[in-house]
Amino acid sequence: MDRSDNSAHETRILDAAERLFYARGVQAVGMDELRTAAGVSLKRLYQSFPSKEVLVTAYLDRRDERWLSSLRTFVGDGGVLEVFTWLVQWFGSEDFRGCAFLNAFGELGDQVVRPVRRHKDRLRAYLRELAVREGASDPDLRADQLLILVDGATVTAMLGRPNAAGAALRLALPDMRG
Amino acid sequence: MDRSDNSAHETRILDAAERLFYARGVQAVGMDELRTAAGVSLKRLYQSFPSKEVLVTAYLDRRDERWLSSLRTFVGDGGVLEVFTWLVQWFGSEDFRGCAFLNAFGELGDQVVRPVRRHKDRLRAYLRELAVREGASDPDLRADQLLILVDGATVTAMLGRPNAAGAALRLALPDMRG
DNA sequence: TAGGCTAGAGAACGTACGTTCTCTAGCGCA
DNA sequence: TGCGCTAGAGAACGTACGTTCTCTAGCCTA
C-alpha cells in the first residue's frame, strides 16, 4: 500500500473525525465509533494517528485551513459585509453547532490551546487585512472589534438567536441601510 | 442531622464543583476528586445530588444566579459603561477561563442546553433593561447587540487578547472619548 | 505450491470513573 | 451497659474507552 492510499485513509479518518467531533464533542466520540464511521481498521487508524490527542489536533488544524479558505474565497475582493453574509449562511447550515475551536477549548482546555489560538490568530490576521483594505484608521483595533463581533455572533447563533449575524453587522457597519 | 446542616453540605459541594468544573471542565473532574475537595463523604454527596448530571445543572444554575447578581450590583444605576468595567475586572481575575455556560455547552451539548439558554436569556433580559433605560430606539436589537459584544469579548479575552473589553466597549458606545 | 508479508476484524487489556455497598466507629438513649 | 441509628471511609462493581494484541484470510513471489 503506497503513500497516496495512505493519505486517502487519512482523509477518510479526518472527514469522520470532523463530522463526529464537531457534532457531538471530542470526548463523546470513541475511537471505535470513529473507526466504524471512517471505514478503516483500528490498526490503520492508529498507524495514521498514533493517539486520539494527535487526531484531535489534526482535525482542528485541517478545519482551520478549510474554514478560513472558505471564508476568504467567499469574500473575495469584498469586505465586512461579505464576511457577515458568509456567517449567515454558515449559521443557517444544517449541522451548525458554533465554533469548533471554542467548543474544543471549553471541553479540553490547555490540551488544545495551541491549535485554537492559532486559528483565532489567523482569523484576526485576515480581519486585519480587511480593515486595512477598507482604510481603517486603527487596523488593530478594528481587527479586534471584528473578531469580537464574529465570535460573539457565532456563540449567540449557536444558542438559537436567529438574527445574530444581522445585529453584529449593524455594529460593524453602523452606517448601513436596512 | 437537620436541614440547615444539609444545605451547608450542599453549599460546600457546590463551591467545590464550581471551582473545579469551571477551572478544568466537567468531564475532567471525577466525583471522587469532588468529594475530596468538598470534604464530604461519597454517600452524602449522592444524597445531596443523586447524579453528576444533577450536580452539573445545580452548579450552572447557582452560577447564573451569582454571576448576574454580581453584575447587577456593580452596575447599579449605571449603564453600558459599567457593564464593560465589570467585565474588565472579571477578565483580569486570576481564575478567569471564559464563560462557564458556553464552555459547558461546548463540552456537553444538549445535556446542558436548558440551563445555558436560561442564563443567556436572563442576561439578555437584563441588557434589554439597560437598553430601555438608556432610551434605545430598538431595545431588542440593542439587547442582541450588547449580548454579542459581551459574549464576544468574553471568548476573545479567554484566548488571551488583553483589550477585548475595551474594543467591545467602543463598539457599544462609539461616541465615547478615550 | 509453499512461505511469508500485509491488512482487517475484533478480542483483550488496563485504567478511569460513576455509582453502590460494606464495614466500622461513635453517639443518643433506655 | 447494651442497642440501634447515623455517618464516614473507602472497597467494590459495572461500564466505557484508549490502546495493543491475536488470529485469520488473502496475496505476492520464488
**Which tens digit of pLDDT belongs to each residue from B153-164?**
999 999 999 899
DSSP state string for A54-93: HHHHHHHHHHHHHHHHHHHHHHTT--HHHHHHHHHHHHHS
Per-residue pLDDT tens listing for chain A (178 residues): 444 456 889 999 999 999 999 999 999 999 999 999 999 999 999 999 999 999 999 999 999 999 999 999 999 999 999 999 999 999 999 999 999 999 999 999 999 999 999 999 999 999 999 999 999 999 999 999 999 999 999 999 999 998 999 999 999 999 876 5
Interface of B with A (CB under 8 A): 24-25, 27-28, 97-98, 102-109, 116-117, 120, 141, 144-145, 147-153, 155-156, 158-161, 163-164, 167-168, 170-171, 174
Q: How many CB atoms lie within 10 A of CB B7?
A: 12
Q: Are the CB atoms for B88 and B125 separated by under 8 Å?
A: no
| Residue in A closest to B101 by C-alpha | A106
Chain Cα centroid distance, residue A89: 14
- Rounded-to-integer distance, Cα A103 and Cα A98, Å: 7
Q: Of the candidates A147, A36, A158, A166, which has an alpha carbon nearest to the alpha carbon of residue A95?
A: A158
> Grid cell 456537553 — which residue?
B108
Chain Cα centroid distance, residue B171: 22
Query: Which of B24, B107, B156 is nearest residue A147 as measured by Cβ atoms?
Result: B156
- Rounded-to-integer distance, Cα B55 and Cα B49, Å: 6
Interchain CB distance below 8 Å, A155 and B153: no
- The pTM is what? 0.94
CA angle B46, B52, B56 (to 5 degrees): 120
